[in-house]
């Protein structure tokens, strides 16, 4: 399943950081392109895109509190 949103932190409402596919980041120079779980590293990786370039931006290991929302297509 595709991940649509990931929230990082212990308090979802007040202090967690929320990352959503399609969200502009880095002063609008990049867009979150993909959020995936890397099984080998047991971590979530956020990829960003600018024009035709896609690069890994952030990674969160299994020790960080994470809430994941998946794309649900009806």
Q: Tell me: the pLDDT tens digits for 22-64?
A: 999 999 999 999 999 999 999 999 999 999 999 999 999 989 9
Does the residue 12 lie in any domain?
Answer: yes
Domains in the chain, number: 1
CA distance readout (Å), 31 to 13, 14, 27, 43, 47: 23, 24, 10, 20, 9
Does the residue 8 lie in any domain?
Answer: yes
- pTM exceeds cut of 0.85: yes
Q: Are 29 and 45 in contact (CB under 8 A)?
A: no
Domain ranges, residue 31: 3-62
């Amino acid at each position: 399943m595709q991940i649509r949103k990931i929230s990082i932190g212990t308090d979802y409402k007040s202090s967690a950081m929320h990352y959503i596919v399609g969200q502009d980041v880095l002063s609008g120079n990049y867009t979150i392109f993909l959020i995936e779980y890397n099984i080998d590293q047991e971590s979530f990786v956020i990829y960003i895109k600018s024009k035709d370039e896609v690069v890994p931006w952030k990674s969160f290991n299994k020790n960080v509190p994470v809430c994941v929302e998946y794309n649900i297509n009806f």
